[in-house]
Amino acid sequence: MTRWGMVINLAKCMRCHACVAACRIEHFLPLRVTWPRLIAVETDEGYKVDVSTYPVRCNQCKDAPCVDVCPTQASYKREDGIVAIDSDKCFGCRYCVIACPYQNRTYVSRKRDPGYFPGYPKTGFEKKGEKLYPHQRGTTEKCNFCMERIDAGLAKGLKPGIDRDATPACVNTCQARALTFGDLDDPNSNVSKLIREKSGFVLHPEYGTDPSVFYIDYKLGGNDNKAPVEAQTGSHIQHLSSVYEPVKEKLAKRYE
């Protein structure tokens, strides 16, 4: 059996957003829909405060809660371990969005898909995208490991993770080679070796979802008890006010 998986080397990731851009181009993503995300974490080592980056995307869990909760079976698991969504079945209840412990699903609403230039006619790129990769408003979407590329590549006899035409767009485009793709069930695959040699870890293993996205090489992933600044303070009341405002203005402004 094959189970596609990804290993993300956090030490190599340099926050260039190339993976995010590649995914956007590959899937013609609507303006405010982002399948892979780069999230920033502040770490306080006592003498310096550092901002680190975590690339996150759908974990393609082996025991995926989103598949279990889907009332129409629009979310389903393929034999190769990829969790996919049949947009023609999804009726937009957003139960999967809430049930996903990794919050990696996005509901495509009118607000999230206003067009790239709201108020102006659609560009040729947008029109082309609608034909090639239609996104249905009122349904839920997420990363699917570029399963179209994998399927097309396998049909040509290519090997995902090795041959570019059968490998997810984000992995191909990562100039720092922080992303590695391959078969988790093959003990000799590049991903299995990396996980074994560098003690790969997954996000929230205690949920028992058995994710297919592993992380290696970073202080937050090890056991040195580095925690986000807020967690280290011990006071949780202090960020009650920020619970409803998850995006800090200063981070956004930095890129303006």
Judged by CB under 8 A, does residue 197 bind other proteins?
no
Which residues 105-144 are close enough to bind other proteins by CB under 8 A?
Answer: 107-109, 117-118, 136-140
Q: In whole angstroms, what is the distance from residue 237 CA to residue 216 CA?
A: 33
Does 68 participate in binding other proteins (rule CB under 8 A)?
Answer: yes
Judge whether 184 and 61 are in contact, CB under 8 Å: no
Can you tell me which of 45, 49, 63, 91 binds other proteins, judged by CB under 8 A?
A: 91
Residue from the set 131, 134, 177, 206 that interacts with other proteins by CB under 8 A: 206
Q: Which two tokens stand for residue 246?
A: 């998850």
CA 221-193-180 angle, to 5 degrees, is 70
Shortest Å distance, C-beta 107 to other proteins:
7
The Cα 192–Cα 213 span in angstroms is 11
Stretch that binds other proteins, among 1-9, 83-91, 141-149, 154-162 (CB under 8 A): 83-91
Given 12, 77, 78, 89, the residue binding other proteins (CB under 8 A): 89
142/59 Cα distance (integer angstroms): 10
* Element spanning 103, H or E: none
- Residue ranges in 25-54 that form contacts with other proteins under rule CB under 8 A: 29, 31-32, 34, 37-42, 53-54
Which run of H or of E encompasses 53? strand 49-56
Of 20, 82, 85, 169, which one interacts with other proteins (CB under 8 A)?
Answer: 20
